[in-house]
Chains A and B, each alone.
Chain A
């Protein structure tokens, strides 16, 4: 019996794909299990989705190939986002961009922005949104 393998990947949806049943196709056509951990997708906008996708290797390869063919790019979630403390001015512009509340003001007295690594899904939205280049993506 072939063993089930799983991958954590982040999908990047071009805006023309946001209304297509891509996840449904992965499940039905390729017999894969998809666990959506984070998503930020709107009508007619680019979107991102972080999923854990698992199944038999040949099905997984075929499913990922399907994504490539239709133009949904993806990358493994092995990237890590870091905050460069000396560059952060604690303005809070990032806090309304972060889809997973990893960037937040925990104490409204100090008004300091905290970066909670455990909540970060490495989507990278904060990187261009930070006016001071304080957020970086690393391998």
Chain B
């Protein structure tokens, strides 16, 4: 028996919606079976909290007097992009201060960057803006130095081009020296294995073919409300999938937007990855409407059903070689020890499962309280049928 989003929303508004998190639904489906569970359940909530480097914020700081069109701008010494109309800047999560020694003293600590500025703004802190320009008749100011804070900005919203990766590489280091990566510190000779995915709680792993999540989907973003605005960069619906339809490598991504003024530093945090750089950890939760039995089958996915490729980050990854060391599942990864090439390797997560769970729980509460209703997607993001792939850059010094 199929349900419409409208019918589910009517139930939400009357506080009658039956909502489970993507974890809680697993034993429920086991007990009830697909058919009965699909009839009884209206929404399943998902969550993820992890460094998501392709994130950033548009800020409109208002017009100073005299006016200025900022050509170059820095927030607490971190370069923001000002190539827009006057007073709009974009601060990217991985940008570091101009004077940061980066990896000159290896491994660099990357104490502060664009992600930390976004966190500081959400925390209500003053951030120092310095800007320069060439000056025009209509925008004569050439220099600006001022403190700004979130409440005084006209607009401040995250626009994250690539978030919520459907699945992700699992990193090991097969070399004989320690390496520092965006998946954390990797000890030599496969001393540890690091991963970054919420597994059974992860949004796109519960809607593997993007049937309900699409452009216009209302989501939990950073503690506030956000929306899916497009497929994410590197979106790859034709990635390798297991028999259950779940991708066993990177696959889908989403581009999202949301108002920073409604966000919380509990779910938006600056990140410092030793020897790698600065980033932003983003908390995302998405509701999966149980419109039919197929959707309940999708949300029944468990950690043990989701496989990810183990990749050597000392050689194969930096050289862009496609070879993988093994495939492992998230139940084994989350157990803390996983067998790779016959060896037991200690596993650690870069994403936070407890916070992912908290986000799914929070979204569930919002829906149960009637404060968060579901949206019908306006358009789909490319699926398997699109044939869309994730192309590499082939360097060509000559014009084609």
Pick the contact of A105 from B49, B271, B336 — CB < 8 Å? Answer: B336
- 24 residue pairs A–B, Cβ–Cβ below 8 Å: A42-B188, A89-B281, A89-B354, A89-B355, A90-B353, A91-B50, A91-B351, A92-B349, A93-B184, A93-B185, A93-B348, A93-B349, A94-B348, A96-B192, A97-B185, A108-B335, A108-B336, A112-B354, A128-B109, A129-B185, A131-B279, A132-B271, A132-B272, A133-B272
Q: Are A131 and B273 in contact (CB under 8 A)?
A: yes
The answer to whether A45 touches B178 (Cβ under 8 A) is: yes
Cα(A42)–Cα(B184), bound, Å: 19
**Please, how many residues of chain B have a CB less than 8 angstroms from a CB on the other chain?**
38
Which 5 A/B pairs are nearest by Cβ-Cβ distance?
Answer: A96-B192, A111-B353, A96-B348, A90-B354, A89-B352
- Whether A44 and B281, one on each chain, are in contact in the complex, defined by CB atoms closer than 8 angstroms, is no
Contact digits for B221-233, partner A, Cβ 8 Å, 1 yes 0 no: 0000000000000
Q: Does A95 belong to the interface (CB within 8 Å)?
A: yes
B350 touches A (CB below 8 Å): yes
Which of chain A's residues 33-51 have a Cβ closer than 8 Å to chain B?
Answer: 42-45
Summed over the interface, the residue pairs from A and B with CB atoms below 8 Å come to a total of 79
B residues at A contact (CB < 8 Å):
49-51, 107, 109, 111, 176-178, 184-185, 187-188, 191-192, 194, 269-274, 279, 281, 334-336, 346-355, 357
Question: Given A45-B177, A96-B192, A90–B274 Cβ distance below 8 Å?
Answer: no
Interface size on A, residues (CB 8 A): 23
**Chain B residues with CB below 8 A from A94, complex form:** 348
| B-contact bits for A37-78, CB 8 A (1 contact / 0 none) | 000001111000000000000000000000000000000000
A3 at the interface (CB under 8 A from B): no
A111→B355 CA distance, assembly (Å): 10
CB distance from A71 to the nearest CB of B (A): 18
A110 to B349, CA, bound (A): 14
Per-residue contact bits, chain A 105-132, to B (CB 8 Å; 1 contact, 0 not): 1001011100000000000000011011
